[in-house]
Amino acid sequence: APAGSSSPRPSEPSSLSCRHARFDMAAAMVWVPILEDGVFRFDVSEAARVAAGPSLSFAEPRRREVVLRDGAGRPAVVPECEVVGDDVHRVLIKLPSGTSFYGTGEASGPLERTGKRVFTWNTDAWGYGSGTTSLYQSHPWVLSILPDGKSLGVLADTTRRCEIDLRQESTIKFAALSAYPIITFGPFDTPAQVVASLSHAIGTVSMPSKWALGYHQCRFSYKSSERVLEVIRTFREKGIPCDVVWMDIDYMDGFRCFTFDNNRFADPKSMVDDLHSIGCKSIWMLDPGIKEEKGYFVYDGGSENDVWIKKADGSPFIGEVWPGDCVFPDFTSERIRTWWARLVRDFISNGVDGIWNDMNEPAMTTTTKTMPESNIHRGDADIGGVQNHSYYHNVYGMLMARSTYEGMVMYNTEKRPFVLTRAGFIGSQRYAATWTGDNLSNWEHLHMSLSMVLQLGLSGQPLSGPDIGGFAGNATPRLFGRWMGVGALFPFSRGHSEAGTVDHEPWSFGEECEEVCRLALLRRYRLLPHIYTLFYVSHKKGTPVAAPLFFADPQDTELRKIETTFLLGPLLVCASTLPDKGAHECAHKLPNGIWLPFDFGDSHPVS
């Protein structure tokens, strides 16, 4: 079936497995040059190219369709494809022995991805582990570093559940329903050139405001405006930098989006004015689940405007989230995105500085975890038209973030919007920052947070970071201090913790940890002009803000698996994720070149 068909997906991800695929019947894909020199589009056939649905990853989808005619050359690698079973398209790309793999977007586990398998299916993955195969976002993208240091990027341009299988040495395998284009970038001389070329397709990060690059303090939840102000005033009294405080769902009236609790947040505008007077911004959560309740203005307005996702029988789908029974806006329609954007515009008038989109995989609190794939989206023709949920599931969060972003622009065209989204798709950086989801407060998750931030940067999303200290569970002073030490140098720096855990503010773990956190954050603020400049370069050119160490010398194979050292432009950050050794006690391999210590005049777990 052509791309854009609504044929059902097999129920289990194993149905897409390439494990036993021998590609005996595979054929070379047909290709055309697109976008710029070194970029090629491959399809299973000429007919499939014509029938392919619109791209949701490309910032300008038409650019995927325009063929370059002059001086384009020939591709260095031609993928093979075979069609098996229920219209599953399996693609094989064989690269030279010794190739290293990266990318795959938001993925747990090691930085170098050989031996791993990922399924792109946005999933509420609380407490994920190093072997979890589907997290909150989908990036069907692999960055390959060839043995000679040159780099090749491969994008499977499909919104459907897609298997990325890297378990065979130097081999990339994709598997997804219906025909989908493969886009290759390179080989180019450096990985930075590949990521920049990818950005010419999927767009660059929206340029953040400088305040968004400061430290953010969050909690599930600060239960009253008095508590919010108390936390920020304590930051000021203790001389610990903090630019932003976050409001989780408990600020709402019964978890109803676009409302405020009349007792605990009776005058949000006054609270925001008080925060602004001491130099602090506020970010507020908005989920997609809208309480099904007559008399609630959002539900009534949405029902009148026919904005809800439908079941197969044409009635609104009802799923259970925090408020109870909820309906969900269908963000695949521009009309409905505009409806949501107007709600955001009016919400911003309360003094809101930024929006946090959560639970937008979309997630349910029931055992099914998300909505049925038989649900119907009435998508606009330019993004794929009317389709079932399996087609749009992976882009639902991105489209919600886009609508939220557009609502902030609608309120004030002179200010740069700030949106944070949990769910996303390759290209989401055009609208929102992201974080690595509901991690755990332990040393394994501290270690994974480095490779996850780097992996997202290699997949086009430079504005990311973990919940510093871990979301679930209680941090120890040593763990929290160590995490803040490196987390203060991540592109996005935010502490966040789950309800029922001990307080996770920097002063909550004793005087020594408080001093470590103060020095770590003062270090970030001394480097803020540099970090801001890196974001400007990323916004203009598409290069990562935080990059793996091998970016300094792609030909040095010994650098390719190093996970505790990374680059911020020309700055090299060395960290330790070992409980019994600080960074200054660990041996760190440095790339060739002259590296001078950056002396901050402080003693700190990061050198």
> What DSSP string describes 266-303?
S-HHHHHHHHHHTT-EEEEEE-S-EE--TT-HHHHHHH
Cis peptide leading into residue 10 (ω within 30°): no
Domains and CATH numbers, the chain: 13-202 (2.60.40.1760), 210-541 (3.20.20.80)
Distance of CA 475 to the CA centre of its chain: 24
Which residues, listed in sequence order, are joined to residue 174 by a DSSP beta bridge? Answer: 91, 164
Mean predicted lDDT score pLDDT of the chain: 93
CA angle 135, 501, 235 (to 5 degrees): 100
Quick check: helix, strand or coil at residue 421?
strand
Count CB atoms within 10 A of the CB of residue 270.
Answer: 12
- Look at residues 467, 488, 548 and name the one whose alpha carbon lies nearest to residue 128: 467
Quick check: helix, strand or coil at residue 213?
helix
Confidence at residue 601, expressed as pLDDT on a 0 to 100 scale: 65
250: its two tokens: 């408990």
CA angle 286, 274, 208 (to 5 degrees): 50
Q: Is 361 a catalytic residue?
A: yes
Rounded CA-CA distance 291/319 in Å is: 10
Check: CB of residue 133 under 8 Å from CB of residue 122: no
Set 243, 438, 467, 514: catalytic member: 438
Which residues, listed in sequence order, are joined to residue 357 by a DSSP beta bridge? Answer: 286, 421
Rounded CA-CA distance 26/83 in Å is: 8
Which residues, listed in sequence order, are joined to residue 153 by a DSSP beta bridge? Answer: 143, 185
Confidence at residue 5, expressed as pLDDT on a 0 to 100 scale: 33
Check: CB of residue 144 under 8 Å from CB of residue 172: yes
Set 106, 124, 287, 358: catalytic member: 358
Residue 400, Cβ density class (10 Å: 0-12 exposed, 13-18 middle, ≥19 buried): buried
Quick check: helix, strand or coil at residue 198?
helix
Measuring CA to CA, how many Å separate 598 from each of 35, 472, 526?
41, 34, 12
pLDDT tens per residue, range 475-520? 999 999 999 999 999 999 999 999 999 999 999 999 999 999 999 9
Span between the terminal Cα atoms of the chain, in Å:
55
Confidence at residue 596, expressed as pLDDT on a 0 to 100 scale: 84
436: its two tokens: 């690595």
- Cβ neighbours for 577, distance < 8 A, ≥ 6 positions apart: 443, 446, 447, 450, 482, 564
Rounded CA-CA distance 565/521 in Å is: 19
Rounded CA-CA distance 76/38 in Å is: 9
Rounded CA-CA distance 177/345 in Å is: 38
Rounded CA-CA distance 165/179 in Å is: 18
Rounded CA-CA distance 524/545 in Å is: 14
Confidence at residue 602, expressed as pLDDT on a 0 to 100 scale: 55
Confidence at residue 595, expressed as pLDDT on a 0 to 100 scale: 87
Residues of the chain with pLDDT under 70: 1-24, 71, 600-607
Rounded CA-CA distance 302/569 in Å is: 46
Distance of CA 344 to the CA centre of its chain: 21
Confidence at residue 73, expressed as pLDDT on a 0 to 100 scale: 87
Rounded CA-CA distance 153/544 in Å is: 15
Quick check: helix, strand or coil at residue 398?
helix
Q: Is 261 a catalytic residue?
A: no
Between strands 27-28 and 80-84, the pairing is: antiparallel
Set 106, 361, 406, 498: catalytic member: 361
Quick check: helix, strand or coil at residue 391?
helix
